Structure 1
Amino acid sequence: MQDVRNPVDGTRIAYQVVGTGTPLLMVHGTALSHSIWRGFGYAKALQAQYRLILVDMRGHGRSDKPHDSDSYAMDLVVADLLEILDTESPFEPAHVLGYSFGGRAVLSLAIEHSDRVRSLTVGGGSSRPMTGAFDALFFPGCVDALERAGMDGFLEGWGIRRGRPVDPQTAAAFRRNDALALAAYMRRSDVEPGIDDAVLRAMTTPTSMFVGSKDRERRPDTEYAASLIPDCSLTVIEGTDHASAVAASEAVLASLIPFLNQN
């Protein structure tokens, strides 16, 4: 693992580089880490053609895990990603891909620093205000559950809401998190404003989006954002919800690889 420090607040951000070719920055979702891209088969499928920059977001994986909610402001998250690109791809725009929280982060990156982004792929993402997003996405009171009962309590509540237990691979990834850091990140996300529709309509970065057909909360948000961004393509991953869409790598890669190749 390598790391950089955010130039604004000094938070250390860990990442790993694998493969050769055009840079592709890959950003995971809530409570996961860079290891999902290996575990779900993305790295194996892409590393022969792309130089994969696999990030552990602040509060996740091997990156620093502050317990202060203000440490998770989106401008700081974007600065984390920009510092990595400045280090690993200073002279060449990179493809960027993000899922869920990572999707919101790379969307913000592409808007604020479009010259650094060759193409944008957003999975299960949203441009809307984040108020109540985690209660809707996981279960009501999920942040309180993290603070009170830790990760096991959170996973139990999420499984009840889903009607079935969280799959073992995702559950194991969640359990590797610092529950208080994750709660701080969620509380900050709850007050993040949305991205104005006019900003999305003005985007020029080639953009692709994907979302699970059973993702009750994020499918409408993803479809809405895709309808506003010029020439944005949208792939619906059949039979998957928010937790399982990113794991359906074969279906995601079927649309992702042609999109990357043409950009």
Structure 2
Amino acid sequence: MSQAPITPITLQGTAGKLAGWVVEPPAGSERRGTVLLVPGFTGSKEDFEGILPLLAEAGYRAVTYDQRGQYESDGPEDVTAYAMADFVGDLLGVVDQISPDAPIHLVGHSFGGYVSRVAVVERPQRFRTLTLLASGPSTTENLNFPPPALLVQLIETGGQQALWDQMSAMMAASGQPPTPQRLEFMGNRILRTRKANLIGIMTAMQQLPLRDPSPLRNAGVPLLVAYGDTGDIWTPDVHEAFAKQIHAKTAVYHGSGHVPNEDVPEQVFADLVTFWKEQA
């Protein structure tokens, strides 16, 4: 059976057009709702390419988009236009565009999870569930990653190329580097991403959005914390402690790192659907 096709769409953000993808369930199939997947730092809609068709085959309308200033989306050149409130405003606007009358399932990867959790706290009635995928607590001291303040200095001095040089060196040393084709795409994507986006995200992370987990825990939206246990930028014990704080279910991808959505999309898909059906 051929997979449902991915269709490019244009969504409207508060600072311009947002490049998106949508995959629709097969004609005549049961419709189970809408899913929105939000990428993280240096990411894009392509991070979910392996999951979208699976979700559609299971009856879900699946949508993703490049956040403001990422890859193919519009974005200002002013760093101050990349505050957390700006990313959240875009997300909530996208939700209203893709599902104006019904709440949706939300999946946020890494920094996309930071944006997603704030959106859920602000408008919990618009969401059926929230999944935080490789997206740890709102702190900076437990990151297995260069401190955001140092990355800001690096990007301000050397731009997107300097960031890519550091990231590609880290991936080469990880023992599990992406394929040459994937590396080429990732490098091109960073170079096309606004410098202000990269600095803005790192600045927003330093402001520790929702460091107190109680508003998320009390929002009334079912939560799932899903993560790889090998080489993520948060260690498994950090993810587990965070899940307990917010009363979330967990899903673990053994042998996967920071991008289980790319490493093991079938497993991530299966856990998402199981979680959603449990909440029905």
Matched, 1:59 2:69: yes
Please tell me whether the aligned partners of residues 117 and 216 of structure 2 are also in contact (alpha carbons under 8 angstroms): no
Whole-Å Cα distance in 2 between the matches of residues 245 and 137 of structure 1? 19
- 1:31 is aligned, of 33, 36, 42, to 42
Q: Percent identity?
A: 25
1:119 matched to 2:134? The reply is no
Query: Matched residue of 1:65: which SS?
Result: coil
Q: Which runs of 5 or more structure 2 residues have no equivalent in the other structure?
A: 1-8, 26-30
1:98 and 2:111 aligned: no
Tell me, in whole angstroms, the C-alpha distance in 2 between the residues paired with 1:223 and 1:5: 34
Number of equivalences: 255
2:51–2:261: 8 Å Cα contact kept in structure 1?
Answer: no
Alignment CA distance shift 1:170-1:206 (3 Å) = farther
TM-score (norm 2): 0.80
Q: Distance in 2 between matches of 1:161 and 1:69?
A: 31
Which residue of 207, 222, 238 corresponds with 1:192? 207
Q: Which residue of the partner structure matches residue 6 of structure 2?
A: none
**Contact 1:4 1:84 (C-alpha < 8 Å) held by counterparts:** yes
TM-score (norm 1): 0.84
Change (3 A) 1:132 1:172: farther
C-alpha displacement of 1:191:
2.5
Q: Is 1:15 matched up with 2:20?
A: yes
1:23-75 deviations in whole A, cap 9, x for unaligned? Answer: 1111112212112222xx21121113111121111121221233332222111
Structure 1 Cα separation of the partners of residues 214 and 275 of structure 2:
25
**Matching of residue 175 in structure 1 with residue 188 in structure 2:** yes
Q: Give 4+ residue runs of structure 1 displaced > 6 Å after superposition.
A: none
Residues 1-263 of structure 1 mapped to structure 2, 5 A cutoff: 1-6=9-14, 10-20=15-25, 21=31, 22-38=33-49, 41-48=50-57, 49-130=59-140, 133=143, 136-137=144-145, 141-146=150-155, 147-148=157-158, 150=161, 151-159=163-171, 162=174, 165-168=177-180, 169=182, 172-177=185-190, 178=193, 180-195=195-210, 196-219=212-235, 220-230=237-247, 232-244=248-260, 246-263=262-279
1:194-244 per-position Cα deviation (integer Å, ceiling 9, x unaligned)? 4213223323111111111024532344222210223x2101110122145
Partner secondary structure for residue 137 of structure 1 = coil
